[in-house]
Each structure stands twice: as structure tokens, then as C-alpha cells.
Structure 1
């Protein structure tokens, strides 16, 4: 039975309803997916706020209070949001669903010698939502979890999920076509974090990066030197940074190699409602267009 929605200071005002499925998610991307699947039948809250660095997030007491009345908790898994376990384990009789279940995870690698970029070979890359096929698996898992938690509305969740998957495909399909038309000598995606393996695979790009996962010690001298050497060897023309990290290392490498600094990419977190990527579809579009606009620029 669905718990009555408890209005908390940490939640934005919701449309009044007699009863909704109260869903908590580990971060904002999953929250937006869940809102599209749940529609008016679900109230969704992200534990991490917009713009937050998801890796190694430190939940506050308010975060814990904010999910106390959850009927369902959605997490990414693949070592991205393990920090949530410290308090999710305290929730009694609340389903905790890993939405990445069923995807074929890519390992964290940067080249044949993954240590060249500081990569931790063998660990799964957790950013599965950046690929069309994986994102659709996420949506299916969310719909299935909501249907199990609220079986009376299972058909509505399934219909919402199918429509949402069509919208995701409509955004990413034309962008993928643009990427596949790039000249061979510009098919490089160089970033600060190795968060774009799934997107790079789908777009036919060779991925290079400074560090594998956002953590302490980003942009060490060894990481910087390794990436400078790799960019000079391959002629990679552009380097980007992500919204949740400093752009200084990427800009420094651009200056050192003569490459362009292509700007900010969004991957781990959505923005506030009035920001550049308030939804997951915006994140896919803005990030992909930023990459392609730079790589197409002769």
C-alpha cells in the first residue's frame, strides 16, 4: 500500500493528490527519468541536489529525512552511488531497485594501456544513461519497479515509459548521425572524467580522459602528462571538462597541446530548473551538441 505523501522542507511543492507513489532516487538524472515514467501518479525526490558531484556524495541529515516516507528507492549501482547504502539499509520494507540492472557495462579504460590515463581497468563505468540502449533499459527498470510498488497503475507506468523511450530516441538519433559523419581525424572525445564511454561508443569516437572517476587527486602531474602525450600523438583537436569539476586542468592541457577548449559537458547532474540542463533530455542534447559543434568546427 502506498504511504501518504509527507510534505518536507526539502521537497518542492507538489500538485495536491489524494495519494501518490513516493519515490526517492540517488541523483537527479534518475529522478527526471522517474518523473517521466510516473507522471501525475508519482512524487519523486532526488537525494542529491541539482549540480551536485555524485561520486562520493556525503548525505546530510536532511537527505535522510527526505526519503523517510519513500515507497520506492531507485539507485544507479555500478559503484556510482554506494554512499547511499549507509542509510538506505535502515529503511524497512522499502524496495531498493538498481536501475542499471540488465545493461552490458563497459569497463573503465582509456586505451590499450589503461594505466596511461589512470584508469582502473576492470571496474564498470557507471554512466550507462549516456547511451540510448542503456537509457531505455533504465526506463524499463523504473517502470517495472513502479508497477510492482503500485500495481493498480501498472498500465499507466508502462505507457509513460514507452512514450518516454521514443522521446529519448528522437533526441539522440539525429545527434548520433552527426557524430558518425565526422572526419576520422576529428573523432576524439577528450574530457576530464572518463564518464562518456557509452556515448563515445555509440558516436564512433575514441575516448581519452584525465582521470577515470571523479575523486580526490584529480589532475595529478602524471595524469596531465599522460593525456598531453596522448593528444599530441593522436592529434585530438578538442578537450572538454564536466560541470561538476574545475575546468583548469582541461584548459591547461589545451594551452599546452594547442587544442581547443570545447567547453562544459553535463553528465552526472542536472541543473536547476532555470539552468541549461533541467531535464535528462536537455542533458543529452546540450552535451552532445557541445561535443559535435566543437568537433565539426574546422
Structure 2
């Protein structure tokens, strides 16, 4: 362990000297001090961090490797991230191939880690570079989200058995809220309605809702908005008379704007997927992210 910490210190020093990057988060994003005494749970992105906080309550500290607004598919860990992994008591990741950088990252950490999508029935990607692999965006389903909660409860209970009853109770209350979102989602759309987005991040939500799905690219690390992708999505929209198309906050809506103009559809940007908003924004929590997206989709497809 001392040798590993020495390597981390050297990396941080080189980073500061050569590129001017920070060895710690910016103001307002300071990671908790180990002196606080509670176990530190490190997650790969902000959505998982909020879920862990809701289950862990006052008994744990939680931090996210990626920050608000960051795109997670192609993220490159920093020396500061490696230091956080060395300090963590538990690391939580999504799995399903989402964090392709994670294997290299976690290999250097001694903390145990849990894969929160374990037990999910995966939906395969049907086109593009990752055809045949699992669509990684399972947290976008209120139904699958309840599996994530169960996995968090299990991981935290192993980490801190003294508070296992609290984790279980928090998890049950949290799952009840997700179930209410699921019930609100079901039956809201006709059997022919199509959800057309930039990224194919809504496959699991579409399955919950009984929606057909169309998108420009399956994951953000794929080529975005090629002529063929644009033409295919326009054809789907025309075939099903789709009134509204959508795009997410972490990508440019330009290609989807072209689709909307060519197909005579409206464009609603502003769907959230990979990141929460700032605390004073529209989706500061996972539940609010799902509720925000569901309401936007219901509004856009009201006449579908």
C-alpha cells in the first residue's frame, strides 16, 4: 500500500507540474475527509451516488468519480480519482459495459466493489459498434432501479453490518417511490407510440412503458449522427407519425434538430441520463431525474 500511495503522489505532482490540472476537486466539490469516521462509498457517476445516499442515510459518506454534467462512457480517471479509490471503503459501479475505463481503475484499489446492475434482464444493442452487447442504461427504468436499490442494500450491509436494518428500511421506502413512478409510467402511451432520442439510453424505460424505440446512436461513444442514422430515424418517425423527438443534456442536439425539421416533428431537448443536475437544477436526485424525463416524454407524446 505505501508503494501505491507513493505512485499516486508522483502522478499528482506530475499532473500539476506539466498540465496544471488539479489534484483535488474544485471548490464546492471537496471530497469528505476520512476524519469524519464514516465509511466512504465511491460511485462511478452521480446517479449512483444519490441512490447510495438514499439507502445509506447518515451512516455513510458518498462521493462520485465523475462530476455533474460529465459524460461517463469515455471518462478518463485522473490522479485524484486514483487517490479517492485508495481511500474508499466500497466502490459501486453500474456494469453492463458502461464504464469501460473502470476495470483499469478498480484494479489499483483495495476496496471491495459491487456491480449494481447484477440481476437485471439486459436489453441487447442491435446496431453499431457494440451490437450484441448489453445496453448499459438500466438505471433509466423505475423497475430496474429497484434491483439497483437491493444491490446497494446488500453491499452496504456487508460493509457496515451494524446498520443493516436501517439500510433495509431505507431501501424499502426508496423502492416504494420507484414503484409509484413505474405505475405512473405504465398505461400512459398507445401501443404504437415511438420514443425517438439521440442516444439509445431509454431502452429499459421504453420497455417499462410499452413504447417502441428509435435513436440516432446506441451509446454516446459511438459515431454520432451519421447520414445513415439520420435517414433511418426520419423514416421511423414518418412511418409512425411521431409528433416529437427528444435529445439528452450531455450531447449536442444538432443532428436531432435536423431529424425533426426533415420529419416535421417537434424537438424537446433536456432529457437527463448520465448525470444529475446541480442541487438547484431540475434533477438534483435520481427520483427527480426519472420523474422529469417521464413528464417530458408524456408531454411530447400526448397526441401519439
Deviation at 1:97, TM superposition (A): 0.7
TM (norm. structure 1) is: 0.88
1:262 offset after TM fit, Å?
Answer: 2.1
Q: 2:262 is matched with which residue: 242, 253, 256?
A: 256
The residue correspondences of 1:48-127 to structure 2 (distance < 5 A) are: 48-92=66-110, 94-109=111-126, 115=127, 118=128, 120-127=130-137
1:66 Cα offset (Å): 2.6
Task: Tell me, in whole angstroms, the C-alpha distance in 2 between the residues paired with 1:165 and 1:31.
Answer: 16
Q: Cα 1:13–1:68, aligned 2, differ >3 Å: closer, same or farther?
A: closer
Give per-residue Cα distances to partners, 1:139-197, cap 9 Å, x unaligned.
Answer: 010110011011111111111111111122223322x14xx243445x11000111101
User: In structure 1, the residue corresponding to 2:51 is in which secondary structure?
Assistant: helix
Which of 261, 273, 283 in structure 2 is aligned with 1:277?
283
In 1: Cα distance, 2:271 partner to 2:303 partner? 17
Structure 2 partner of 1:197: 203
Whether 1:37 aligns to 2:55 is yes
Give the C-alpha shift of residue 215 in structure 1. 1.4
Whether contact under 8 Å (1:263, 1:290) holds in the other structure is no
Quote the Cα distance in structure 1 between the aligned partners of 2:96 and 2:203: 14
Partner deviation per Cα, 1:201-253 (whole Å, 9 max, x = no partner): 11111000000111152111111111112222222221101111001111111
1:133 Cα deviation from its structure 2 partner: 2.3
Shift of residue 21 of structure 1?
1.6
Q: How many residues were matched structurally?
A: 279
Q: 1:230 and 1:64, CA in 2 relative to 1: closer, same or farther beyond 3 A?
A: same
Query: Do the aligned partners of 2:43 and 2:93 also contact (CA within 8 Å) in 1?
Result: yes
Inter-partner Cα distance in structure 2 for 1:18 and 1:56: 32
User: What is the Cα-based RMSD across aligned positions, in Å?
Assistant: 2.0
TM-score normalised by the chain length of structure 2: 0.86
SS of 1:67's equivalent in the other structure is helix
- Cα separation, partners in 2 of 1:72 and 1:272, compared to 1, 3 Å: same
Q: Deviation digits for residues 33-71 of structure 1, max 9, x if unmatched?
A: 000011000100000001111111112222222332100
CA distance in 2, matches of 1:16, 1:62: 15
Whole-angstrom distance in 2 between the partners of 1:165 and 1:43: 21
Aligned to 1:182: 189
Note if contact 1:25-1:75 (Cα within 8 Å) is conserved in structure 2.
yes
SS at match of 2:176: helix
Confirm or deny that 1:169 pairs with 2:179. yes
207, 217, 221: which is aligned to 1:211? 217
The unaligned stretches of length 5 or more in structure 2 are 1-22
Q: Is the 8 A contact 1:108 1:119 kept in 2?
A: no
Show structure 1 runs of 5+ residues with no match: 1-7, 110-114
Aligned to 2:157: 147
Work out whether residues 188 and 237 of structure 1, in 8 Å CA contact, stay in contact via their aligned partners in 2. no
Q: Does 1:138 align with 2:138?
A: no
Give how far 1:18 is off. Answer: 5.3
Instruction: Report 1 or 2 for greater relative contact order, CA contacts < 8 Å, sequence distance ≥ 6.
Output: 1
